[in-house]
């Protein structure tokens, strides 16, 4: 199912990277609250497809690999006449061996993590932010590990660097768009059990996602860039 037609009434959210994990749980939570959700996936038969089959009036699916600029441009064109209350760029990856230092990670994997978490995410922000109204919310999934101030133990070099670079790029975006009334959000969701977070993470999506969605919705009507955790508390940059 790939459709940009019939938006229908009510509040709406575009979630980039909603196939599984936190993005899928976010789609389910917004739908549960009566929002219309357009979620993007890269493949077929994902958990989002199953959710959309259960809620065909609430959930639409589009295809996007955000590391492919032609796909980002094409989706922006397909959605040109659509407006969303919230645009949220969730998609992200970690390197396969998170303990690898900068000296150990391969050039290819470094480029893949940076190309996804920074370049792909920011191209999605640039493309889809204008689909929110003047008082809309544009959010990106950062991480507490993007905080330079909180980096006391030096683990996860590559992933940390990618999220810190994402934060910096969003700060630049915010500076360039300071005259606009949109709320911009870098969200640090906490350590949550997903494929990326792993089985040892202390929180499940069922507990964390309502809090994450509360924080996103609370940004409506705010202005400028914030870096917040899922309790709405500022994270030190």
Ligand X SMILES: NC(=O)c1ccc[n+]([C@@H]2O[C@H](COP(=O)([O-])OP(=O)(O)OC[C@H]3O[C@@H](n4cnc5c(N)ncnc54)[C@H](OP(=O)(O)O)[C@@H]3O)[C@@H](O)[C@H]2O)c1
76 near ligand X, rule: CB under 6 A: no
Site for ligand X in 53-72 (CB under 6 A): 64-67
Tell which residue, 88, 73, 227, has the closest CA to residue 164: 227
Of 3-11, 97-105, 185-193, 225-233, which part binds ligand X (CB under 6 A)?
A: 185-193
DSSP for 64-116, please give it: --TT-HHHHHHHHHHTTT--EEEEEE------SSTT--TTTS-HHHHHHHHII
Tell which residue, 27, 67, 68, has the closest CA to residue 47: 27
Q: Where do we find the tokens 């915010």?
A: 174
**Which of 20, 33, 49, 78 forms a contact with ligand X (CB under 6 A)?**
20
196 vs 218, beta carbon nearer ligand X: 196
Site for ligand X in 144-183 (CB under 6 A): none
Q: How many amino acids of this chain bind ligand X (CB under 6 A)?
A: 30
Q: Reduce the DSSP state of residue 157 to 3 states and report it.
A: helix
Of 13-21, 74-82, 99-107, 220-228, which part binds ligand X (CB under 6 A)?
A: 13-21
91 vs 169, beta carbon nearer ligand X: 91
Instruction: Give Dmax over CA atoms of the chain in angstroms.
Output: 52
139 near ligand X, rule: CB under 6 A: no
Q: Give least dist CB 100 to ligand X, A.
A: 16
Q: Reduce the DSSP state of residue 13 to 3 states and report it.
A: strand
In sequence order, what are the residues at sequence separation of 6 or more whose Cβ sits closer than 8 angstroms to the Cβ of residue 104? 97
Q: Give least dist CB 178 to ligand X, A.
A: 25
State the DSSP H helix or E strand holding residue 52, giving kind and residue range, or none if neither.
helix 47-54
Q: Give least dist CB 179 to ligand X, A.
A: 28
39 near ligand X, rule: CB under 6 A: no
Positions in the binding site for ligand X (CB under 6 A): 17, 19-23, 41-43, 46, 64-67, 90-93, 116, 120, 141, 143, 189, 191-192, 194-197, 201
């Amino acid at each position: 199912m790939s459709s940009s037609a019939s938006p229908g009434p009510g509040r709406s959210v575009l979630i980039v990277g909603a196939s599984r994990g936190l993005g899928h749980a976010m789609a389910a939570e917004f739908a549960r609250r009566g929002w219309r959700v357009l979620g993007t996936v890269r493949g077929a038969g994902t958990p989002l497809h199953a959710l959309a089959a259960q809620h065909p009036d609430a959930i639409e699916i589009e295809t996007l690999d955000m590391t492919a600029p032609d796909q980002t441009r094409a989706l922006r064109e397909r959605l040109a006449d659509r407006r969303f209350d919230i645009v949220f760029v969730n998609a992200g990856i970690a390197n396969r061996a998170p303990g690898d230092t900068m000296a150990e990670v391969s050039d290819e994997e470094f480029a893949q993590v940076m190309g996804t978490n920074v370049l792909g995410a920011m191209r999605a922000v640039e493309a889809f932010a204008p689909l929110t109204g003047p008082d809309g919310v544009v959010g990106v999934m950062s991480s507490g590990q993007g905080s330079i101030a909180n980096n006391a133990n030096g683990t996860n070099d590559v992933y940390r660097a990618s999220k810190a670079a994402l934060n910096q790029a969003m700060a630049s975006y915010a500076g360039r768009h300071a005259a606009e009334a949109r709320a911009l959000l870098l969200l640090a969701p906490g350590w949550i059990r997903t494929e990326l977070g792993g089985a040892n993470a202390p929180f499940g999506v069922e507990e964390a996602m309502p809090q994450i969605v509360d924080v996103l919705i609370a940004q409506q009507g705010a202005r400028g860039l914030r870096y917040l955790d899922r309790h709405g508390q500022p994270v030190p940059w």
